[in-house]
Amino acid sequence: MRVPDYPPPMVIFNRQPSAPAAGELRRERRALLLLREDRLRDLGGLTLEMYRRDHFNEALVVERCAELVAIEARVSEIEAHLKGAGLRRRQRAVCACGAPLLIGARFCPSCGRALDLEASDGETTSA
Mean pLDDT confidence for 84-110: 69
Give the distance from CA 40 to its chain's centroid.
13
Q: 27 and 76 in one domain?
A: yes
Mean pLDDT confidence for 3-23: 62
CA–CA distances in Å: residue 89 to residues 26, 82, 92, 121:
18, 14, 9, 15
Q: 83 and 59 in one domain?
A: yes
Q: 29 and 84 in one domain?
A: yes
Domain count, the chain: 2
Q: Are 85 and 92 contacting, i.e. CB atoms less than 8 angstroms apart? A: no
The single-letter DSSP state of residue 94 is B
Q: What is the pLDDT of residues 101-117, one digit of tens each?
A: 777 778 887 888 887 75
User: How confident is the model at residue 30, as a pLDDT?
Assistant: 93
In a domain, 50, yes or no: yes
User: How confident is the model at residue 5, as a pLDDT?
Assistant: 65
Residue scoring higher pLDDT (27 or 82): 27
In a domain, 115, yes or no: yes
User: How confident is the model at residue 40, as a pLDDT?
Assistant: 93
Q: 42 and 101 in one domain?
A: no
Q: 80 and 70 in one domain?
A: yes
In a domain, 15, yes or no: no
Residue 126, domain extent: 91-127
Q: What is the pLDDT of residues 17-64, one digit of tens each?
A: 566 778 888 899 999 999 999 999 999 999 999 999 999 999 999 999
Minimal CA–CA distance to 96: which of 62, 57, 61, 123? 123
Q: 80 and 25 in one domain?
A: yes
Sign of CA dihedral 66, 69, 73, 75: positive
